[in-house]
Structure 1
């Protein structure tokens, strides 16, 4: 069985990234009998200038998208797309537009414990923000998510209270931007092939099959 590593550049307040995760999960399920997939979640911040306490979500979105009518249109489209993949978006519940730096630090620390725990943290952050309206910039929320994912609450609390890995997260985001990532989600397969945007499960599954086939052919050519 071929194994493929996917680095997913994402922000936890990006609805397209949540869709991208759900669609990627479906794609992986489709090919799991033929291809093994390892996922690393990489940071990106859509709103790096937001203060630590966050902003008024409704006001910020209206300013960004050009008015409440456009926001409503975008939310309706995303809600319909989410329903197709089991996401119950509740945009009205989101009161705070958070600064996501600490959420990305938590995602980074979770990977140190293993990909399974990182995936649990990422999934919980998306759910908390988009389906429960919880502030994922709030340390209490982050600690709850960390503990439920199997991380040591006291260790994470100490890390969050410090500047640990702050510069590392910023450097990773800068490196992604210098590589050409200017929107998310962005999928990097085996550090060679890139797919941008929340593609459909079929597109992602076919990309996995094509890459696995190319790897198998390259290896057989060496024998």
Structure 2
């Protein structure tokens, strides 16, 4: 394919954001729908709540503190679950016992991106599954190491790096950059580093945006992305 028929989509997301999991599934469908465009996906970090302690928090207590009542939490889950079902996601909210701090997960996602685009995509998908469908604690280093292994990474390197401060500042700086760009919620899809599609838009909307940006790029109408 020509360069004009290829675009990059940076997905700013958090692995504990249910809308980001839905957005990932919809992006997959959008990419399948634009078969004439080569789409390269990169996952960028965002933390819904960076104040959660590194050890995590009891999720039920955390959700009660955030939303105020069991009934409100049930309403939120009831809204999300059928949308997940439509995308092949089986949300198991009751199985999630820990609200994790996701900084370490984002560090591993960053390392996966340095390995390859495919490995990063496999890792992000696995982390979404682990959290939302299996109720696994994404703050647990052993969980992250095993997910890295499953994605095709060198798990021994991940196991060695996780207890250190490697790339902590780099991930935090990326999150700060997203904030300076005005990104206050996720998912956010950045096409060619310039055009933002906010929220878990339906697959058709994402596909249309991808086509339009790819066509504009092919015509040489895009300014150089910063």
**TM-score class normalised by the smaller sequence:** over 0.9
Cross-structure match for 1:7: 10
1:27 paired to 2:30: yes
Cross-structure match for 1:202: 204
RMSD: 0.9
77, 80, 100: which one aligns with 2:79: 77
TM-score, reference length from structure 1: 0.96
The CA distance in 2 between the partners of 1:70 and 1:191, in whole Å, is 37
Aligned to 1:173, the other structure's residue is in SS state helix
118, 127, 131: which one aligns with 1:129: 131
Q: Spell out the pairing of 1:98-117 with structure 2 (5 A cutoff).
A: 98-117=100-119
TM-score, reference length from structure 2: 0.94
Tell me the matched-pair count: 218
The runs of 4+ residues in structure 1 deviating greater than 6 Å are none
Please report how far the alpha carbon of residue 216 of structure 1 lies from its aligned counterpart in structure 2 after TM superposition.
2.1
The CA distance in 1 between the partners of 2:99 and 2:194, in whole Å, is 34
Consecutive unaligned residues of structure 2, counting only runs of 5 or more, are 222-226
Please report how far the alpha carbon of residue 214 of structure 1 lies from its aligned counterpart in structure 2 after TM superposition.
1.4
The CA distance in 1 between the partners of 2:203 and 2:64, in whole Å, is 30
Cross-structure match for 2:96: 94
